[in-house]
């Protein structure tokens, strides 16, 4: 591997062709277009760099909250990843699947969920007030930094669970046993064997979580409140409200530079001492928890995950079936009761509006975009991962650039899309196709981050053995790589699917109002006053949860025939 | 062995084929020579399907709508894309008086002296060059939770000054004017009422009295406001004068009275007038004129209230019953010269941010 021949450089180049073209056309081109506009004379007067505080203040806060959120997410996510990759217990599959659902919920709905739980009149405060005989709600969680952190953990724990869990479960236990046999205690075995082998997956997953938190927008705006502003929030305000495109562009560039830096650091750390380990099938490592310690761990972790992830989801779904204000304002009293009204109302176009969309159509639109996103992201992601795996020096420079779309400001890129693809030269491209393309831009780095550590951990001896036995390149891929990559591939598919299903910003920017996705439809309801509108938004959100759960369930059912052999 | 990869390949192909087969957008259906008119508007735009279909049939045209966020972001998006090349649309609807001057300054619109202007009251015709034509109006007002004030036996505040009194401490939630359209409107109402010298001390008093600031209308109304389904802690919220009518129409069980009301005292509300205009450089000028006429026609004007919860500018347009019953129209809403707003808006928002959030 130390002397890359021209052959492998050529191969890397060929593999790079498609993903690189995609990124150049759909990421770097619109980005450059909007930057060129921002620094054109039209925005001469808008910002001259007179106040660096306008950049440094949001930058500082963005780093601080992202670092804190990532640490907290790891704190919950790593034990959870251990739980799911080692123990077989009742409800394991269900809990694992449900833990992904927060990922797709639009922020406006999460804000509503948290309010019904933690708000001044949420059930936690009501319960505590009744229990402790208080007259004032004791918990003030909303509109604060803890609310931002909690929401970030709620959203992103699944990334750690999936990425680290998937790597952990494929790790061959024999290595740990061998270390223990040689006299290492469990801690030493973990530190010397498990941790180094898991490091690429852990740092990769942390990088993703960090970047999602770093570019956080809705959570900060809605749950944090106006006293908090990340770079992304500032970019949005400056570009779309203040029309100060110059400052927005400067902030976007700072955000991109930070993303590059962090991605580069991660690739250094993960290359430091990754080893190659023999792999085993996921289920082979699973066993029921034994002994008091393992049983307690399983129970405690399950409770934490249920509290953190399930209660907000359950409160949302419950609320979509419950009416609270039968005759508010008339009797001054809140009445509760079961209702299907919100769901029934979804199927009615009461005002005969042109933009009314039956729920089935919104679901269909969302599913079509999600399926396209999965295909684009997986095909390009696989090619990109193999390209990055070639022993070519330039790869080290390219790798961080692959992560860049995750750190790009959605507003800046969105405006870039409009400036670039609304031009006559691009009119051949059906415009709604840009939606799955935009979603794939976000999903692609996740796919690469998931596949790369898995591909790198395949011992080359396996491939060499296959070649020696007479298998050609394609055979080696199908017989060796594919079975070993299947799990990570499914993880990437699930992520691409959920990213697309839950995405709101680009969809609302690019979709035609007559063909909205589910999140766009949800937003439409919740941006109008009235009990029915609120109820319909919650009903539509519950529908989104169900569609997503069904999708993930089906994707995870994909099996290779004879996979049990591995 | 080969079978295995075949099955996987078939699966991918199925997935691929499946979605290509059903993509509505990806299949380029050969469209016959039907002209397309593109209308750029804000997220709250809604219209009866029947009306638009009638317009399309009458003029042999397909109308395409693009929604660009709220009033402010839609305009800014139009400006940015126009600077970057061709404008995104032929007609723009949803420009309001807080952003009027910016649109005129950027020279986005072409003049059109629509015949219907003769019937529209002069108070709405803020652009004398007829580039921005008034279509509807509404008022940003403080909504109150009727039940809350009944239960607490507290009189509903009657003016902006009342809100600084200790009995109303911590009861009002407002939106950040830097990120919310109604938030900006309310700030302008206070500037109109207390003057350029007085508004900052008014807001200082509000701040001392525990006013709650959130980023957007959705959070204010559904998370913080106690009169909405979100059952939040504050019984007073900056919303629209027509919100009580919406609460009545979208009530879960038929109500005889709206659960909320609006404070419509003189100077307490901000009058928002919304305009439409023909975008400069459109190749479909004749059709665009027809669409403007359509928006100013009686059927469209009467359709608007229930679709968008705004009031028609055409005096002859009849209002729906819920509007007459639940929504009060303020007699003397606050207004400011659009010119002055254009000059000072950023400075005011900046000063407000310094005062309230730092």
pLDDT score, position B20: 36
Contacts of A508 in chain B (CB under 8 A): 43, 67, 69
Average pLDDT over residues B202-231: 91
The pair phi, psi for residue A337, each rounded to 5°, is -175, 165
pLDDT confidence bin for A335, thresholds 50/70/90 = low
For all residues of chain A together, what is the average pLDDT?
83
Which of B107, B150, B252, B327 should we substitute to test contact with A (largest number of A Cβ atoms within 10 Å)? Answer: B252
pLDDT score, position A5: 65
One DSSP character per residue, A55-110 reads: HHHHHHHHHHHHHHHHHHHHHHHHHHHHHHHHB--TTHHHHHHHTTGGGGS-HHHH
More confident residue, A416 or B24: A416
Contacts of B16 in chain A (CB under 8 A): 375
Contacts of B169 in chain A (CB under 8 A): none
What is the pairing mode between strands B35-41 and B91-96? parallel
Per-residue pLDDT tens over the stretch A86-97? 999 988 989 988
d(CA B84, CA A415): 10
> With contact defined as beta carbons under 8 Å apart, do B137 and B274 qualify?
yes
Task: Name which of B49, B76, B212 is nearest A240 (Cβ-Cβ).
Answer: B76
pLDDT confidence bin for A426, thresholds 50/70/90 = low
pLDDT score, position A2: 45
Q: How close is the nearest chain B Cα to the Cα of A461, in Å?
A: 20
- Sorted by where each starts, the structural domains of chain A and their CATH numbers stand as 1-40+345-566 (1.10.3720.10)
pLDDT confidence bin for B212, thresholds 50/70/90 = very high
More confident residue, A429 or B163: B163
Task: Name which of A371, A423, A529 is nearest B243 (Cβ-Cβ).
Answer: A529
The CB density around residue B169, as the number of other CB atoms within 10 Å, is 13
pLDDT score, position A441: 92
Q: Which of A25-29, A219-223, A327-331, B60-64 has the lowest mean pLDDT?
A: A327-331
Has the ipTM of the complex gone over 0.85?
no
Which residues does A113 contact at the CB level (< 8 Å), separation at least 6?
A: A105, A312, A313, A315, A316
Task: Name which of A111, A332, A364 is nearest B219 (Cβ-Cβ).
Answer: A111
Per-residue pLDDT tens over the stretch A527-541? 888 888 888 988 999
Per-residue pLDDT tens over the stretch A41-71? 877 765 655 578 888 889 999 999 999 999 9
Note whether A239 contacts B76, CB cutoff 8 Å: yes
Average pLDDT over residues A366-378: 94
Task: Name which of B51, B76, B252 is nearest A535 (Cβ-Cβ).
Answer: B252
d(CA A310, CA A102): 9
More confident residue, A268 or A270: A268
Which of B80, B302, B308, B347 should we substitute to test contact with A (largest number of A Cβ atoms within 10 Å)? Answer: B80
d(CA A442, CA A529): 33
Average pLDDT over residues A478-494: 85
Note whether B88 contacts A418, CB cutoff 8 Å: yes
Contacts of B145 in chain A (CB under 8 A): 329
Note whether A527 contacts B43, CB cutoff 8 Å: yes
pLDDT confidence bin for A283, thresholds 50/70/90 = low
Q: How close is the nearest chain B Cα to the Cα of A503, in Å?
A: 16
> With contact defined as beta carbons under 8 Å apart, do A196 and A269 qualify?
no
- Using alpha carbons, list the distances in angstroms from residue A207 to A98, A198, A212, A497, A555: 23, 14, 9, 20, 25
Task: Name which of A112, A418, A482 is nearest B222 (Cβ-Cβ).
Answer: A112
Note whether B146 contacts A368, CB cutoff 8 Å: no
> With contact defined as beta carbons under 8 Å apart, do B133 and B292 qualify?
yes
d(CA B35, CA A337): 51
Q: Say if residue B156's pLDDT is above 70.
A: yes
The pair phi, psi for residue A509, each rounded to 5°, is -70, -40
d(CA A385, CA B184): 48
d(CA B343, CA B331): 27
Q: Say if residue B298's pLDDT is above 50.
A: yes
Note whether B73 contacts A240, CB cutoff 8 Å: yes
> With contact defined as beta carbons under 8 Å apart, do B117 and B125 qualify?
yes
Q: How close is the nearest chain A Cα to the Cα of B274, in Å?
A: 18
More confident residue, A309 or A12: A309
The pair phi, psi for residue A322, each rounded to 5°, is -120, 135
pLDDT score, position B85: 65
Note whether A524 contacts B43, CB cutoff 8 Å: yes
pLDDT confidence bin for A157, thresholds 50/70/90 = very high
Contacts of B84 in chain A (CB under 8 A): 33-34, 37, 418-419
Contacts of A352 in chain B (CB under 8 A): 48-50
Please return the burial class of A215, using the count of CB atoms within 10 Å of its CB with bins 0-12, 13-18 and 19+: buried
> With contact defined as beta carbons under 8 Å apart, do B251 and A350 qualify?
no
Residue B105 near chain A (CB below 8 Å): no
pTM over 0.90: no
The residue written with tokens 């295909």 in the block is A375
Residue A25 near chain B (CB below 8 Å): no
Contacts of B43 in chain A (CB under 8 A): 508, 523-524, 527
User: What does the longest C-alpha to C-alpha distance in chain B come to?
Assistant: 83
Task: Name which of A226, A327, A535 is nearest B229 (Cβ-Cβ).
Answer: A535
Per-residue pLDDT tens over the stretch B1-13? 344 444 444 444 4
Note whether A245 contacts B80, CB cutoff 8 Å: yes
pLDDT score, position A52: 80
Chain length of chain A:
566
pLDDT score, position A331: 37
pLDDT confidence bin for A471, thresholds 50/70/90 = confident
pLDDT confidence bin for B182, thresholds 50/70/90 = very high
Q: Say if residue A492's pLDDT is above 80.
A: yes
3-state secondary structure of A136: coil
pLDDT confidence bin for A282, thresholds 50/70/90 = low
Which of B106, B107, B175, B230 should we substitute to test contact with A (largest number of A Cβ atoms within 10 Å)? Answer: B230
Note whether B19 contacts A375, CB cutoff 8 Å: yes
Q: Say if residue A276's pLDDT is above 60.
A: no
Q: Say if residue B235's pLDDT is above 90.
A: yes
User: What does the longest C-alpha to C-alpha distance in chain A come to?
Assistant: 83
Which residues does B147 contact at the CB level (< 8 Å), separation at least 6?
A: A328, A329, A332, A333, B227, B259
Q: Could you tell me which chain A residue has the CA closest to the CA of B21?
A: A368
Q: Could you tell me which chain A residue has the CA closest to the CA of B11?
A: A558
pLDDT confidence bin for A400, thresholds 50/70/90 = confident
The residue written with tokens 């009306």 in the block is B51
Note whether A353 contacts B146, CB cutoff 8 Å: no
d(CA A433, CA A435): 5
pLDDT score, position A198: 87
Closest C-alpha among B172, A489, A105 to residue A114: A105
The residue written with tokens 């430091």 in the block is A272
For all residues of chain B together, what is the average pLDDT?
87
d(CA A414, CA B95): 21
Which of A45, A118, A226, A428 should we substitute to test contact with B (largest number of B Cβ atoms within 10 Å)? Answer: A226
Note whether A353 contacts B150, CB cutoff 8 Å: no
What is the pairing mode between strands B61-67 and B91-96? unpaired
Note whether B252 contacts A532, CB cutoff 8 Å: yes
Contacts of A252 in chain B (CB under 8 A): none
Contacts of A351 in chain B (CB under 8 A): 46, 48, 306-307
Per-residue pLDDT tens over the stretch B122-136? 999 999 999 999 999
pLDDT score, position B16: 39
Bridge partner residues of B141 (DSSP): B239
pLDDT score, position B5: 45
Contacts of A116 in chain B (CB under 8 A): 230
Q: Say if residue B145's pLDDT is above 90.
A: yes
Q: Say if residue A215's pLDDT is above 70.
A: yes
Note whether B11 contacts A558, CB cutoff 8 Å: yes
Contacts of B73 in chain A (CB under 8 A): 240-241
> In this structure, is the dihedral angle defined by the CA atoms of residues A9, A11, A14 and A16, taken in order, positive or negative?
negative
Per-residue pLDDT tens over the stretch B44-94? 899 999 999 999 999 999 999 988 888 888 898 888 878 766 778 999 999
Note whether A479 contacts B357, CB cutoff 8 Å: no
């Amino acid at each position: 591997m130390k002397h890359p021949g021209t052959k492998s450089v050529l191969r890397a180049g060929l593999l790079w062709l498609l993903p690189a073209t995609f990124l150049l056309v759909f990421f770097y081109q619109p980005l450059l277009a909007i930057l060129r506009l921002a620094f054109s004379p039209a925005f001469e007067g808008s910002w001259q760099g007179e106040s660096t505080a306008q950049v440094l203040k949001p930058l500082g806060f963005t780093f601080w909250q992202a670092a804190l959120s990532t640490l907290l997410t790891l704190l919950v996510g790593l034990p959870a990843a251990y739980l799911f990759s080692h123990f077989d217990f009742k409800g394991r599959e269900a809990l694992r699947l449900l833990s992904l659902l927060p990922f797709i919920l639009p922020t406006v709905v999460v804000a509503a969920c948290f309010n019904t739980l933690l708000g001044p009149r949420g059930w936690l405060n009501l319960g505590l007030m009744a229990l402790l005989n208080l007259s004032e709600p004791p918990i003030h969680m909303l509109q604060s930094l803890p609310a931002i952190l909690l929401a970030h953990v709620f959203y992103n724990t699944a990334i750690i669970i999936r990425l680290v869990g998937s790597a952990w479960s494929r790790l061959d236990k024999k290595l740990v046993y061998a270390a223990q046999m040689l006299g290492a205690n469990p801690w030493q075995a973990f530190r010397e064997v498990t941790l180094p082998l898991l490091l690429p997956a852990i740092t990769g997953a942390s990088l993703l979580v960090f970047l999602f938190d770093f570019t956080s927008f809705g959570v900060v705006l809605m749950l944090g409140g106006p006293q908090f502003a990340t770079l992304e929030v500032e970019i949005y305000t400056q570009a779309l409200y203040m029309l100060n495109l110059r400052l927005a562009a400067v902030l976007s560039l700072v955000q991109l530079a930070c993303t590059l830096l962090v991605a580069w650091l991660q690739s250094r750390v993960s290359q430091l001492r990754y080893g190659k380990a023999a792999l085993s099938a996921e289920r082979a490592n699973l066993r029921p928890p034994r002994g008091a310690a393992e049983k307690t761990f399983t129970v405690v972790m399950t409770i934490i995950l249920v509290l953190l992830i399930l209660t907000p989801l359950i409160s949302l779904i419950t609320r979509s079936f419950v009416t609270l204000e039968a005759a508010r304002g008339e009797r001054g009293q809140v009445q509760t009761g079961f209702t299907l009204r919100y769901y029934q109302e979804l199927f009615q176009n009461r005002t005969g509006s042109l933009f009314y969309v039956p729920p089935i159509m919104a679901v269909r639109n969302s599913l079509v975009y999600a399926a396209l996103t999965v295909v684009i992201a997986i095909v390009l992601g696989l090619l990109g991962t193999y390209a990055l795996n070639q022993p070519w020096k330039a790869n080290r420079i390219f790798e961080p650039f692959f992560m860049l779309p995750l750190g790009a400001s959605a507003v800046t890129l969105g405006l870039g899309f409009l400036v670039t693809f609304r031009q006559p030269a691009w009119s051949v491209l059906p415009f709604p196709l840009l939606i799955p393309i935009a979603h794939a831009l976000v999903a692609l780095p996740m796919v690469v981050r998931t596949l790369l550590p898995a591909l790198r951990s395949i011992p080359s001896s396996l491939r060499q053995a296959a070649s020696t036995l007479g298998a050609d390149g394609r055979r080696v891929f199908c017989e060796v790589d594919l079975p070993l990559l299947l799990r990570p591939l499914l993880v990437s598919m699930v992520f691409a699917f959920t990213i697309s299903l839950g995405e709101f910003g680009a969809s609302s920017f690019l979709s035609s109002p007559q063909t909205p996705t589910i999140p766009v439809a949800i937003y439409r309801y919740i941006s109008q006053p009235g009990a029915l509108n609120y109820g319909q938004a919650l009903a539509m959100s519950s529908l989104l949860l169900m569609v997503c759960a069904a999708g993930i369930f089906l994707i995870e059912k994909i099996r290779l025939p004879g996979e049990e052999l591995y | 062995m080969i079978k295995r990869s075949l099955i996987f390949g078939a699966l991918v192909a199925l997935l691929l084929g499946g979605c290509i087969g059903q993509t509505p957008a990806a299949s380029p259906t050969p469209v016959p020579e039907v002209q397309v008119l593109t209308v750029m508007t804000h997220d709250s735009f809604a219209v009866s399907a029947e009306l638009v279909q009638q317009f399309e049939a009458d003029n042999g045209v397909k109308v395409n709508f693009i929604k660009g966020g709220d009033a402010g972001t839609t305009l800014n998006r139009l400006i940015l894309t126009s600077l970057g090349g061709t404008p995104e649309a032929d007609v723009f609807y949803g420009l309001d008086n807080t952003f009027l001057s910016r649109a005129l300054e950027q020279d986005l619109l072409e003049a059109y002296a629509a015949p219907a202007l003769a019937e529209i009251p002069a108070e709405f015709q803020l652009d004398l060059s007829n580039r921005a034509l008034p279509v509807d109006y509404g008022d940003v007002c403080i909504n109150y939770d009727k039940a809350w004030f009944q239960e607490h036996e507290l009189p509903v505040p009657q003016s902006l000054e009342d809100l600084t009194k200790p009995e109303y401490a911590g009861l009002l939630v407002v939106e950040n004017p830097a990120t919310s359209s109604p938030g900006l409107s309310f700030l302008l109402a206070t500037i109109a009422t207390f003057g350029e010298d007085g508004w900052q001390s008014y807001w200082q008093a509000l701040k001392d009295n525990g006013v709650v600031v959130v980023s957007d209308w959705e959070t204010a109304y559904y998370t913080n406001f106690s009169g909405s389904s979100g059952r939040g802690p504050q019984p007073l919220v900056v919303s629209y004068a027509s919100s009580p009518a919406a609460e009545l129409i979208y009530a879960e069980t038929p109500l005889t009275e709206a659960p909320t009301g609006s404070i419509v005292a003189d100077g307490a509300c901000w009058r928002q007038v919304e305009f439409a205009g023909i975008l400069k450089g459109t190749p479909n000028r004749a059709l665009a004129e027809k669409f403007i006429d359509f928006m100013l026609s009686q059927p469209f004007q009467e359709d608007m209230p229930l679709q968008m919860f705004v009031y028609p500018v055409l005096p002859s347009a009849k209002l729906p019953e819920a509007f007459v019953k639940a929504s009060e129209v303020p007699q003397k809403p606050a207004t400011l010269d659009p010119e002055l707003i254009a000059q000072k808006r950023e400075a005011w928002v900046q000063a407000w941010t310094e005062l309230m959030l730092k």
